[in-house]
Structure 1
């Protein structure tokens, strides 16, 4: 009959010593853990660490097409960053980036939250309508941008045709410096609403219905239930939604490039557009300043991520 740990306690009056796993078994478990971890490490190195390293290297050298071919770029240090920050176009691009990003994520979040609360009620066509709202998210970006370009066309666009029916004259949405940034921002908001709707709707499903029932018994109206229950309990989901929206919007290129190419007169040129145009959009690629602008965008996104982590820790400790 086997002598168990319980028998040892009954016999000696103290628990039996724990038996450590054999060294061979520990090594086997360690190698198993490393095997499961290896694909993630390789993925991060290949698709994140190496591109970031190459971008930094590009920004501190003078990479011309000839230097790419011959492999002998001149080391310039921080000269490319100084040139970018002192360029007259930098402040305009930074301002356009701030307006485009902040307005986009604010309205995407507000409209996505409103739709999520609306669909939370549940009604007969709720699932069908939610699926229809996902269409902008599923379409290729080139299709969406081309559609908006056609709709906002000055001569034969459907938006101007609609306005003419009410006696409003022609508006040059994409070719006027006063409306180009507004036009691309509206298109980007339309594209981002489905993402916010999906994430926030999922967050709403985790709020217990009993809280709303208790608030209803206490006489709380719909706005009070939203402001006192829904919005506070949705704060962690809202924070990550806004952070992801910020990171995505900072690097938007395709929508703006297809609709306005950053024009007219750089009226809709963001930092991402400036970087892309320097590298690929002029026919005379200047990769090093483009990489420097790209690294500035990475720093902005990184700072936003650090702020999010700090706020989450502060909220968790309070």
Structure 2
């Protein structure tokens, strides 16, 4: 009883957070799962006259022509963005880990790409990639790299590449800052000992830097996957899922079903599928992280 009295203030301190999580996170998730098993459309939304349809919404999603395209595009987009963001973020982190004048200023300027609202960034890149007056086409044709302007966002073969390029530009500073913080926290005496023992730069990187950075990289990759997998705003602003579903991804597919076709049951099923995929990836991450700790 005495221990309960001592811990009661701690629970009261946590109460607002618990209420917030239940009301604004857990309840919407469970309600979405319930909706995914119902025939809920704009016609019966107000009356509440819904019926339980079991797995019919999921079957409808899996049988849709857009689903395999959206699933493939989502994984291609996510994997490409994560690889490029981590790679270039790591290179920039190595660069900014060195001492040189105005290092902090340039590091802050790089953060502007990540801090800028996505609506502004999406419209900026839509202008840069425009086929008629885009700066990128102007530079490429001026350097004679291409003969004619490319309709980056208007043709099926380049639209997804343009979206990936935009998101990579946004995400590089985030990865750079996290990796840079991890690099600056590495013990310097280990590197000094390795240099005394005659280790070259590649051996130091492979045997010291990468093993020490592995836990941080795991976290960065997992956060990046979750953030990138649920992409929606850039797609909506730049291409609207087109052309010909070239940039159709699962979150945008769910948005179309729920808020354009007003088929909330199917939209809920797609959202639940996304949740299951991300939870599976999170469980894989937790398993690998625990395995790494016990190794």
Matches within 5 A, 1:1-318: 23=1, 25-167=2-144, 168=146, 169-280=148-259, 282=260, 284-318=261-295
State which drifts further: 224-233 or 169-178.
Answer: 224-233
**2: CA distance between counterparts of 1:122 and 1:227?**
23
**1: CA distance between counterparts of 2:95 and 2:143?**
31
Segments of structure 1 that go 5 or more residues without pairing to the other structure are 1-22
**1: CA distance between counterparts of 2:153 and 2:283?**
36
Q: Note the alpha carbon deviations across 1:190-220, whole angstroms, 9 max, x for none.
A: 1111111111111112211111222222232
Secondary structure, in 3 states, of the residue corresponding to 1:68? coil
Offset of residue 59 of structure 1: 0.8
Secondary structure, in 3 states, of the residue corresponding to 2:243? coil
> What TM-score does the superposition give when structure 1 sets the normalisation length?
0.89
**1: CA distance between counterparts of 2:40 and 2:294?**
48
**1: CA distance between counterparts of 2:137 and 2:112?**
24
**2: CA distance between counterparts of 1:27 and 1:265?**
61
> Which structure has the bigger radius of gyration?
1
State which drifts further: 113-122 or 92-101.
Answer: 113-122
**2: CA distance between counterparts of 1:33 and 1:274?**
43
State which drifts further: 216-225 or 258-267.
Answer: 216-225
- Name the structure, 1 or 2, with higher relative contact order (CA <8 Å, separation 6+): 2
Equivalenced residue count is: 293
**2: CA distance between counterparts of 1:117 and 1:221?**
17
**2: CA distance between counterparts of 1:125 and 1:230?**
26
Q: Note the alpha carbon deviations across 1:149-203, whole angstroms, 9 max, x for none.
A: 0000011100111111123211110000000000001101111111111111111
**2: CA distance between counterparts of 1:88 and 1:248?**
26
Segments of structure 2 that go 5 or more residues without pairing to the other structure are none
Q: CA RMSD of the aligned region, Å?
A: 1.3
> What TM-score does the superposition give when structure 2 sets the normalisation length?
0.96
